[in-house]
């Protein structure tokens, strides 16, 4: 471990953050005294550089190159600024910077601004913690060359991240990610990165009004607004913006979950601040039952995702992301879609939106997972992915936006209530028209990322011939790419009954994700087939 210990000493000497330097010093002292757990922790922290990819940076906070800290952020900011200056052919690039309320988000935002200004650029920093969609709106609204959002979205409290948008308002895709990573490599130490003491600008809070004016335009004026809404921000930064948007749109009966309304980087009432996780919206559901709500709207901590819960046959339940995706697409079709518009969803999302689009004569496309791909579909009018991400207003925000999606689902619910109908009625109608499209997913969470690679290789070496009594009629290695899709790590299978299975590593968390969809005329029978496929796939993907 001598080399690792030497690397730790060099890092400590370069670290401008007294807290992370002290943490590393303590670990080093423990390791040198024979503490094997401290040695293992140092080995992990110095196992490589936190990789800059199409999701930017995301990882646990702490000292070392494989963690989120000021050294990593300073180098990332320097590399991004150099990339922008070289690609734009001028030094005076403009970067707008936003941040959430996680630990050190404001520090990382300030460091980024200091680096941009020192390099000759212009840095525009949002005034306080605000949702990611507002930052995604601001990049185009302010005419910036790029934007940085310091957030780890729905990751655990110990994480933070660094999301990058380019001037078209979309998240980065290849080859920009590799080119930025190469530029970062030119700054091996924080000491090599120049920082200004001042000179960045604080964006006036009128940007919030501009965003809200844009986002509230997704709902039609004069429609029904009799709807009791319970909202939770899950201790994130979305509460004030979401509630203000609902009020401006005419939805005045909005009741926040008080215990989760204020930003708190510790996320004290949830074990995992992701509305998809079991228990995350239990407080909201309890409040909905208590106050007789019509609907629950939940945002993840940076408010780019939107979850919806409804009362269905006397029981409150959270809608699956694919159900919300179909409902929003159907609602837009009912309102009218301009000629030449395109609907899109990721390959792991349900095929129901495609069926809705085809029936309405609307073009439809499938993309790789992530809004960095969905947002780039030419002519996009609406796009979604099953992980609670919806882009209902690409002209305003070219990314998923949990605020505008929340407004649109509220409009749908209020319209239905005014006519004596409900969201379950629409879901049943869609199933009768297009077939029951039932989806499910599960994850294999790991501590050692190499396990994911071994599972994927095992499936490639010994692909299943049958799953749950159905033969595999088609298998695709998504890593090979196709005319329709760029290469991505993943496997896709179709069974003889048209059940679809996709296995892919998560792009933001240490887990393998398995997505399932079965289609049939009879919902109960289709659900049985789906359950059988899940049971078998759980066995095939065990670590």
- State in Å, rounded, how far the first CA of the chain is from the last one: 29
pLDDT digits (tens, 9 = 90+) for 377-435: 999 999 999 999 999 999 999 999 999 999 999 999 999 999 999 999 999 999 999 99
H or E element in which residue 40 lies? helix 36-45
What domains are defined for the chain? 1-47 (no CATH), 51-204 (3.40.120.10), 221-413 (3.40.120.10), 435-540 (3.30.310.50)
Q: What is the dihedral of CA 507, 279, 397, 59, to 10 degrees?
A: -40
Put residue 267 in one of left, alpha, beta given phi > 0 → left and psi -120 to 50 → alpha. left
How confident is the model over 22-34, as pLDDT tens digits? Answer: 999 999 999 999 9
Whether the pLDDT of residue 227 is over 70: the answer is yes
Instruction: Give which of 525, 465, 459 is closest to 496, Cα–Cα.
Output: 465
CA–CA dist 319, 305 (Å, integer): 13
Three-state DSSP state, 333: helix
Asked if the model's pLDDT at residue 498 lies above 90, the reply is yes
Which of 275, 301, 96 minimizes the C-alpha distance to 201?
96
pLDDT at residue 83, as a whole number: 98
Active-site entry in 26, 33, 127, 153:
153
Q: Whole-angstrom Cα distance, residue 45 to residue 22?
A: 15
Looking up tokens 């990058």 gives 164
Structure tokens that stand for 327 in this block: 């409902």
Would you place residue 53 in the very low, low, confident or very high pLDDT band (cuts 50, 70, 90)?
confident
Q: Is 47 a known active-site residue?
A: no
Measure the CA–CA gap between 95 and 73, rounded to whole angstroms.
15
165-221, pLDDT tens digit by residue?
Answer: 999 899 999 899 999 999 999 999 999 999 999 999 999 999 999 999 999 999 999
pLDDT band at 1 (very low <50, low <70, confident <90, very high): low
Query: Average pLDDT of 462-484?
Result: 95
* Among 387, 408, 386, residue whose Cα is nearest residue 397: 408
List the one residue out of 222, 218, 232, 214 whose CA is nearest residue 415: 222
Distance CA 159, CA 72 (A): 14
pTM, 2 dp = 0.96
Q: What is the DSSP letter of 319?
A: P
Phi-psi region of 472 (alpha: psi -120 to 50; beta: other; left: phi over 0): beta
State how far the Cα of 108 lies from the Cα of 111, in Å rounded to an integer: 5
């Amino acid at each position: 471990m001598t080399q690792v210990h030497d690397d730790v000493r060099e890092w400590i000497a370069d670290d401008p953050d007294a807290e992370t330097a002290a943490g590393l010093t303590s670990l080093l002292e423990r390791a040198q005294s024979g503490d094997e757990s401290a040695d293992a922790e140092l080995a992990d922290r110095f196992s490589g550089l936190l990789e800059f990819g199409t999701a930017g940076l995301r990882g646990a906070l702490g000292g070392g190159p494989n963690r989120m800290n000021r050294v990593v952020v300073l180098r990332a900011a320097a590399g991004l600024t150099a990339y922008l200056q070289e690609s734009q052919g001028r030094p005076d690039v403009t970067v707008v910077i936003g941040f959430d309320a996680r630990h050190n988000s404001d520090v990382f935002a300030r460091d980024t601004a200091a680096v941009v200004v020192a390099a000759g650029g212009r840095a525009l920093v949002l005034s306080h913690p605000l949702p990611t969609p507002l930052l995604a709106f601001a990049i185009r609204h302010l005419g910036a060359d790029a934007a940085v959002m310091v957030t780890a979205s729905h990751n655990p409290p110990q994480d933070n991240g660094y999301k990058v948008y380019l001037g078209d308002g979309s998240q980065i895709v290849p080859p920009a990610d590799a080119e930025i990573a190469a530029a970062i490599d030119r700054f091996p130490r924080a000491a090599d990165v120049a920082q200004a003491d001042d000179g960045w600008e604080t964006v006036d809070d009128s940007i919030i009004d501009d965003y809200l004016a844009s986002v509230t335009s997704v709902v039609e004026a004069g429609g029904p607004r009799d709807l009791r809404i319970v909202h939770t921000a899950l201790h994130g930064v979305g509460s004030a913006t979401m509630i203000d948007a609902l009020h401006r749109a005419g939805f005045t009966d909005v009741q926040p979950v008080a215990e989760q309304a204020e930003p708190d980087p510790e996320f004290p009432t949830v074990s995992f601040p992701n509305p998809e996780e079991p228990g995350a919206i239990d407080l909201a559901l309890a409040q909905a039952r208590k106050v007789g709500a019509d609907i629950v709207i939940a945002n993840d901590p940076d408010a780019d995702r939107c979850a919806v819960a409804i009362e269905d046959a006397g029981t409150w339940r959270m809608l699956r992301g694919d159900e919300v995706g179909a409902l929003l697409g159907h609602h837009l079709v009912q309102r009218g879609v301009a000629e030449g518009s395109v609907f899109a969803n990721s390959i792991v999302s349900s095929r129901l939106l495609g069926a809705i689009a085809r029936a309405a004569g609307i073009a439809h496309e499938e993309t790789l997972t992530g809004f960095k791909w969905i947002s780039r579909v030419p002519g996009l009018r609406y796009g979604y992915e099953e992980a609670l991400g919806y882009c209902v207003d690409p002209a305003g925000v070219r990314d998923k936006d949990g605020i505008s999606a929340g407004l649109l689902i509220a409009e749908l619910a209020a319209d239905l209530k005014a006519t004596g109908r409900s969201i379950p009625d629409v879901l049943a109608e869609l199933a009768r028209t297009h077939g029951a499209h039932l989806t499910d997913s599960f994850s294999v969470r790991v501590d050692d990322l190499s396990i994911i690679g071994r599972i994927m290789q095992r499936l490639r070496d010994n692909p299943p011939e049958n799953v749950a009594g159905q033969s595999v009629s088609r298998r695709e290695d998504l890593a090979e790419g196709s005319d329709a899709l760029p290469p991505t790590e993943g496997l896709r299978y179709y069974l003889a009954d048209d059940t679809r299975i996709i296995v892919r590593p998560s792009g933001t968390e240490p887990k393998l994700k398995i997505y399932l969809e079965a289609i049939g005329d009879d919902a109960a029978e289709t659900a049985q087939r789906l359950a059988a496929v899940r049971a078998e796939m759980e066995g095939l993907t065990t670590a």
